[in-house]
Amino acid sequence: MRISEVRLRQLQGTLPTEGDLWEERLVRPVDVYPEFRNRNDHEGGTQGPDGFKIATYFVEIHTDEGVCGLAGPIPETVAFIIAKHLRKLLVGQDAIAGEKLWDQMHRAMVHGRQGDAMLAISAVDCALWDLRGKWLNQPVYRLLGGPTQTQIPAYASMLGFSVLDLEKVHARAIEYKKLGYRAQKWFFRHGPMSGAEGLKMNVELVRTLREAVGEDYDLMFDCWQAMDVGYVVELASRIEKYRPKWLEECVMPDRLDSYAKLRERISIPLSGAEHEYTRWGFKRFLDVGALDVIQPDIYWCGGLTETLKIAAYATAHDVVTIPHGHSSFATAHFSAVQSPIHTPYQEYLVKWNAVHQHFLVDPLDVINGMIEVPERPGLAMEIDDSKIEQQAVVFA
């Protein structure tokens, strides 16, 4: 079976919302500059009076046997790289030989070890897995020797909910616990440059959440690469009594030495590396024991093929792998072939899932706190034509 066409589709539609989808954003590394710190900008689309307008991209890999693999959503820059650089490597090739195609894409894209080019390779890899599953009429986890678990405990990732209105925080934490989520992750709004006042608000967020959910419940906190060692040590000293399950992405991912210092100086477990790429990138973290939990994103780090290799290396260090949750479908198939002790949770980004799954038939939902691994063939994604307001084939 040969690849006959690589098609990039742009889809536009409107996600209905009650009020603004994004209430608050997280702290970002660039917030050290006041002109960025004070912005309240958001990603993924545009808020309008009748909902959240989304324009996004999907890649389809077609074959001469009529079987088609789907991946997405992906941003425009990533769609462009697939069309302009990867398409010519793929058309005419054996669609089943994914290891060969990954190796060829990686070796050909010599400037593509990280960032958008690796996101492009990741999306193609996921589309090829989908294609293989559909060809064999089996869910991808079956091709990988699963399931090890058919239901995966989900934690609610609360990005986009207000973190400054503590009454709302308290109410939401209780609401999502009642929905059955086994744990919650919340996102700090302030970094080192917001000073003592910002630090106090970060601590208040943690205190409010622990009081809301009670003692026997996991809470995680995400710094989104926007802090430094001194600030995190101070923050940790004030919040460790609230027993966070982990502190995430404390500093930017190239600052490995800072992660190692933090591991020595604070007692809260560390997670991170969602902005790291490939097995070689993760090897750096694992070899120095920088993290307790690694969080490769299947759509960013090199695809499902690469994430499986990263996770295998992590298990050799007894390090937990809980992927960052860009694609809940890809992540569910990954989690369904891991030992439950090495992948005890799946991240479910509540608001991003509404955006990323808007165009999909049967979006992957969390029911009573659990993600049921879909039994449909491939990665189980299909475009819901009724959601499309406008569409185009782009970069043809």
In the three-class reduction of DSSP (H, G, I as helix; E, B as strand; rest coil), residue 390 is classed as strand
Site map (CB under 5 A) of Mg ion, residues 325-364, x = contact: ----------------------------------------
- Residues with Cβ within 8 Å of residue 141, at least 6 apart in sequence: 147, 332, 333, 336, 337, 373
- Give the pairing of strands 346-349 and 151-157: parallel
Q: Shortest distance, CB of residue 236 to Mg ion, whole angstroms?
A: 17
Q: Has 333 been annotated as catalytic?
A: no
Of 225-254, binders to Mg ion (CB under 5 A) are 248
**Shortest Cβ contact with Mg ion: which residue?**
222
Q: Shortest distance, CB of residue 87 to Mg ion, whole angstroms?
A: 31
DSSP H or E segment with residue 308: helix 303-316
Point out the catalytic residue in the list 275, 324, 333, 356.
324
DSSP H or E segment with residue 348: strand 346-349
CB neighbours of residue 26 within 10 Å: 20
- Give the pairing of strands 183-187 and 218-222: parallel
Tell me the C-alpha distance between 385 and 14, whole Å.
13
Site map (CB under 5 A) of Mg ion, residues 5-24, x = contact: --------------------
Q: Which is nearer to Mg ion, 43 or 50 (CB)?
A: 43
Q: Shortest distance, CB of residue 258 to Mg ion, whole angstroms?
A: 17
In the three-class reduction of DSSP (H, G, I as helix; E, B as strand; rest coil), residue 321 is classed as strand
Q: Shortest distance, CB of residue 324 to Mg ion, whole angstroms?
A: 6
Residue 82 DSSP symbol: I
Buried residues in 347-378 as b, exposed as e (16+ CB within 10 A)? bbbbbbbbbbbbbbeeebebeebbbebbebbb
Nearest CA-CA partner of 51 in 20, 73, 77: 20
Q: Shortest distance, CB of residue 248 to Mg ion, whole angstroms?
A: 5
Q: Which is nearer to Mg ion, 130 or 248 (CB)?
A: 248
Q: Which is nearer to Mg ion, 248 or 306 (CB)?
A: 248
Of 207-226, binders to Mg ion (CB under 5 A) are 222
In the three-class reduction of DSSP (H, G, I as helix; E, B as strand; rest coil), residue 153 is classed as strand
Q: Which is nearer to Mg ion, 24 or 248 (CB)?
A: 248
Judged by CB under 5 A, the number of residues near Mg ion is: 2
Residue 149 contacts residue 332 (beta carbons within 8 Å)? no
Q: Which is nearer to Mg ion, 134 or 324 (CB)?
A: 324
Residues in contact with Mg ion by the rule CB under 5 A? 222, 248
The residues annotated as belonging to the active site are 324
